[in-house]
Structure 1
Amino acid sequence: MNPTPDLHPTLPPGRTLASFAGLAQALKGWWPPYVFAVAMNVVSLCAATAAAALGALAVSTAVVGGDRDPSLHAIALLVAVGVVARGLSGWLESWVSHDLSFRMMARVRIWIFGALARAAPSVTARRRTGDLTTTAMTDAEALEIFYAHSSLYIVSAFVTTPVLIAATAVVSPSAAWAVTPVLLVAAGFSLAMRGAARRDGAEIRALIAAIGAEVDENIGAVREIVGYSMVEERLRRLSALDDALARVQSRNARRAGVESAAAGVVSVLATLVAAWVGVTQVNSSTLDPVFLPVLITLAGASSSAIVQWIGVTRHYGTTGEAARRIDEILSAPPPVDRSGTAVAPAGATAGVAAVGVSHSWPGVTADHPVTPALVNVDVEIAPGEHVALAGRSGAGKSTLGALVARFMDPDSGHLTVDGVGLTALSPRALTETVCLVPQEVHLFQESVRDNLRIATDRSPTDADLWEALETAHAAEIVRRMPDGLDTVIGERGDTLSGGERQRLALARAVLHGSRVLILDETVSQLDVVAERDVRDSLTRGTGDRTTIVIAHRLSTLLAADRIIVLDAGRVVGQGDHAALMRDCRQYADLVGPQLRALAPAAARHTGGEPRR
């Protein structure tokens, strides 16, 4: 039984995954095996107690009545049944509960991935990759203690403890009343330790996440670390985190040890209290001496469920903090409302318009004011037009591209595609209409074929893949690979050069077939000739597709039908290169250094002198 999980849990306010409300969400469709696991744990505890109590009864009966007492055979048989029931039920509980917990962990990881997809790119920009990896893996694993153990034992304690107290009361009501306060004090002590457990757990999970993030960053930057002789410094940083984690874990272990010791004391104390009451009753002839060992055994076992619960609740802090970190991701608001249902107008291309668009990146405070990324931007791009966005770094070019791709919505103003507001489009319609290829592309550690096929939900043929590769001038690169389309690319495309990664990303975008293509410095790692060849091929291969290119390079700007110049988030000029050189100071300042750098080189190769 493997029901399709919800991609997002619905929890009451103030509840986390490490609560019974969170458990109910994780258990959707799996309640029968959970109830079965609880029942098996109850049977296991009761069977163990029954076997021990009956064994005690057999011994006392033999001592008082002799080994020929006819009831001994029946008691011995019941003891054997209890032992078998204890072993079988314990095995079934362990098997079913762990199988269930691993299924629920998989569900939680699906929730995390779904939340990251919904909240991207904002949530991934605010947290380190290693931190998010820790949450998805080790924090999700920490919940296994709650799902497979704590929750089961809490429920079992509520069921089993009254049953065992009732069994004790059958032999001696007075002993049952005397033992009950001991059990309540034990439960209260464990609850009182939760504050310290929570503090330790928060520090432990935070340090584990920091170590994970540090290791992930070190692996990704190993060339820089070695090249700039930073090995010792990075080792010191990692060692400091390890030392801090060891200190907190040691403190947490001491507290957990105190709780474990308390659990042992509870069991002994319950036994001593019952023994004192039982001996008193035997002396007053209100209890048959044969049942004194039974009473002591039952009273000692009455704490077994609570002791079992204390054994797992000492992990409450780390489990609770892991759940809080996961909840932080699950509750992250999506950057845009994706409830639109409109379909973009049909056609091979589309026009784009921005009207009064302003936007600031989140996280800006009064103490750290930042100039808005875009201010009252009005832009209209005709269907099939090839437009370049020019401007210095931080001018707002990439922000405008991200808004058109709807990675976020503007603070004010609106954007449309063929007159349809981006907010009205369904998520599928938007991705079919607009495709953004970033400067830093991501290639998966899969084959070239698989890296290309993610661009479409169709089943492209090899001919389709080669056509896209030809358009992006990447076909020759793939042909040189040992297995062609089936060659597995290294993680993040590390086996390829920057230019090769960019060409494969362009081929993927071509295969995607969107009507509006946004290229954010996508050919920045190609030389000028290769860039021209790719650009010309893209123009031929994409037909009338609207293209928005974000670029600094002069050759890219010159190839555009129109250049839009941004400065400090405002549109300060539009037109072709010649007009902007004449009428737009910001554009002249931007490309002037490139022109001046090219002039002497051209003069040296032509034998002429640069004009002053």
Structure 2
Amino acid sequence: MSTADRQSTEASHWQTYRRLIGFAKPYRGLLLLALVGALVEAVASGAFTSLMKPITNVTFIEKNAEVAIWLPLAILGLFLVRGAAGYTTDMSMGRAARSIARDLRVKVLGKYLRLPGSRFDNEPVPSMLVRLGSDSDQVSQAAVDAAKVVIQQSLQVIVLVGVMLWHSWQVTLTIVVLAPPLAWIMDKVAKRYRRISHRIQESSAALLQSADQTLSSHQEVKIYGAQAMELERYRGLADNNLRLAMKVESTKGISSATVQFMGAVGLAALLLIAGREAQAGRLSAGDFIVLMVSMIGIIPAMKQLTNVQNMMQRGVASAERLFTVLDAPDEVDAGQRHLQRANGLIEFRHVSARYPGQTRPALEDISFTARPGTVTAIVGRSGSGKSSLIKLIPRFYEKEAGEILLDGYPISDYTLADLRRQIALVGQQVVLFDGSIAANVAYGEMGAAEAAAIDDAIRGANALEFVEQLPEGLQASVGTKGNRLSGGQRQRLAIARAMLKDAPILILDEATAALDNESERLVQNALEKLMPDRTTLVIAHRLSTIEHADQVLVLDQGRLVEQGSPAELLARGGLYAHLHQMQFREGEIG
């Protein structure tokens, strides 16, 4: 790395740390209290060290009995003050550090919820969890915990050096020549930590992602006998993480050992120079003990100051990861038009869309109209662009060209909140949150819904029959991701949620594709109650479920290749007829 690059990197790290310190501003009072406590603690330590002179000279050399009585009491008083001051520092700094970690977690999660859909395609959820978890903790250590060590130990060193200067400035100044090489070592340690810390955080995210992938797919792993392969992959990542961690431990150990050795050199120099001063009559036995105890107190303080580099540099590396999230642009929400309830007229005019980094468009020149009270089915082979088309309506992704209109106005004219309030979504993979059935049905903006409205929605979705059988009824927990319910039960709760929302636009993304015949019948019946008087768009896997659709859009490789009613498309003998025939044959074979 060139000198200019190193200087640029150093400046970047300093800017990151300065920005990080900004998160501590709301806790200035706590930090000031901690500083006062640390100062009192250091002064008490210095006072105790100074007592070594009268303890040595008066108690042991002069054998003064009166002084021998009050000196132990003075020591007890000093340590009581020191303990109270240390407790104040620890609690104040700890509260500030944990509060900063809490603030960052909330801020980063809120930022993720404002990011466009493409972010979730490019960054796996386990990496996001690392940022919300260990990265936030590391940042709090950099912002406050490291500062606590620096303040406490620096004040300790300053006070003890002051005590040494008071008792013999000649000896102290001679020992101070060891400071420049010690500063050089700390600088080298800091640079090494910076090189390794960011790589450790990335390695931890890769470890978590690999474990999440393996454990989430444990059935496939077992059925294909891939346990050894997955374990080997995880072991490789764990070995890399261990290798990086050992580099940190090696750096920490070498720097600590070097600092201790230099401390020993300082003690040896102290003994040599103090002996000469004593022979010249300029240093008493008590002064020597004070200097010795001060040096012994400075060595561990300097050792902690070198170790704080690990904490601080890892925190800065984590902060840089968090700031890449916080600095990412939010999804565009420049619309000014407000909308209470839409009529539901949707128009696509020559719409094209492309995922970031992809050369081939996901959708190309799509035009159609979906009117209120009608059902528009979207069919096509896997990868034809069905889901991409649906995601453009609530603006999870942005179009590249063309126009998408709602009630005659471009959807970008509306605020995102108002636009999405007009849409209810029921997908193949139902999303339920750990909580009660009632809370999941009344999720989000409907959280204050009345019990009667929730009951009506559950009854309309054909979910009442299984809800009534649960001991806790509506208050029964659905479990993590709804794992206490069957697929059909989860699907009906999603329909109940859409019924309660009562949005004018309904999007069904292969809502019955993964269900057995009985569950499909119940879900299909619930959907028929939900669809009237709405603009309904259905991604259909089973073509038998869209026989009564008003129009069918047939997509192939991102283009709209056919459009019309099911009967018209069958008579035309094109791609729709081919897909229909293939499913009919599969049904016969089944």
TM-score, normalised on structure 1? 0.86
1:399 corresponds to 2:388 = yes
Match of residue 221, structure 1, among 217, 223, 230: 217
State the match for 1:8 in structure 2: none
* Cα contact 1:437–1:522 (8 A) shared by 2: yes
* Cα contact 2:118–2:355 (8 A) shared by 1: no
State the match for 2:171 in structure 1: 175
State the match for 2:202 in structure 1: 206
Deviation larger for 426-435 or 260-269 = 260-269
Deviations 1:569-609 (Å, cap 9, x if unpaired)? 222222211222344723233323224555789xxxxxxxx
Distance 1:237 1:432, change over 3 A: same
Deviation of 1:452 (Å): 1.3
1:338 corresponds to 2:343 = no
Distance 1:203 1:284, change over 3 A: same
State the match for 1:327 in structure 2: 323
Deviations 1:122-158 (Å, cap 9, x if unpaired)? 3333233333323322332333432442122234455
Distance 1:83 1:530, change over 3 A: closer
Distance 1:129 1:600, change over 3 A: closer
Query: 1:529, 1:576 → 2: CA distance?
Result: 27
Deviation larger for 77-86 or 439-448 = 77-86
**Structure-to-structure mapping, 1:11-410, within 5 angstroms:** 14=12, 19-25=17-23, 27-68=24-65, 76-119=72-115, 121-156=117-152, 159-287=155-283, 290-302=286-298, 305-334=301-330, 336-344=331-339, 346-347=341-342, 349-364=343-358, 369=359, 371-410=360-399
Query: 2:205, 2:472 → 1: CA distance?
Result: 38
Q: Which secondary structure state, in structure 2, belongs to the residue aligned with residue 518 of structure 1?
A: strand
Deviation larger for 150-159 or 386-395 = 150-159
Please give the root-mean-square deviation of Cα atoms over the aligned residues, in Å: 3.0
Question: Identity percentage over the alignment?
Answer: 25
Deviation larger for 224-233 or 392-401 = 224-233
1:585 corresponds to 2:574 = yes
Q: Which secondary structure state, in structure 1, belongs to the residue aligned with residue 186 of structure 2?
A: helix
Deviations 1:310-345 (Å, cap 9, x if unpaired)? 2332334543433333333333333x2124343125
Match of residue 451, structure 1, among 430, 440, 454: 440
Query: 1:46, 1:181 → 2: CA distance?
Result: 24
Q: Which secondary structure state, in structure 2, belongs to the residue aligned with residue 443 of structure 1?
A: coil
How many positions carry a matched residue from both structures? 580
Deviation of 1:451 (Å): 1.5
State the match for 1:9 in structure 2: none
Deviation of 1:51 (Å): 0.7
Distance 1:184 1:90, change over 3 A: farther
* Cα contact 1:356–1:376 (8 A) shared by 2: yes
Distance 1:15 1:457, change over 3 A: farther
State the match for 1:559 in structure 2: 548
* Cα contact 1:385–1:546 (8 A) shared by 2: yes
Query: 1:587, 1:436 → 2: CA distance?
Result: 25
Deviation of 1:293 (Å): 2.4
Distance 1:512 1:428, change over 3 A: same
Deviation of 1:18 (Å): 6.9
Deviation of 1:163 (Å): 4.2
Query: 1:147, 1:99 → 2: CA distance?
Result: 12
Distance 1:415 1:275, change over 3 A: farther
Match of residue 492, structure 1, among 474, 481, 485: 481
Query: 2:283, 2:387 → 1: CA distance?
Result: 86
Query: 1:75, 1:529 → 2: CA distance?
Result: 88
Distance 1:346 1:119, change over 3 A: closer
* Cα contact 2:189–2:309 (8 A) shared by 1: no
Query: 2:126, 2:14 → 1: CA distance?
Result: 23
Which runs of 5 or more structure 2 residues have no equivalent in the other structure? 1-10
Deviation of 1:401 (Å): 0.7
Query: 1:16, 1:182 → 2: CA distance?
Result: 27
Query: 1:427, 1:221 → 2: CA distance?
Result: 35
Deviation of 1:374 (Å): 0.9
State the match for 2:8 in structure 1: none
Q: Which secondary structure state, in structure 1, belongs to the residue aligned with residue 398 of structure 2?
A: coil
* Cα contact 1:343–1:425 (8 A) shared by 2: yes
TM-score, normalised on structure 2? 0.89
Deviation larger for 391-400 or 132-141 = 132-141
Which runs of 5 or more structure 1 residues have no equivalent in the other structure? 1-12, 602-612
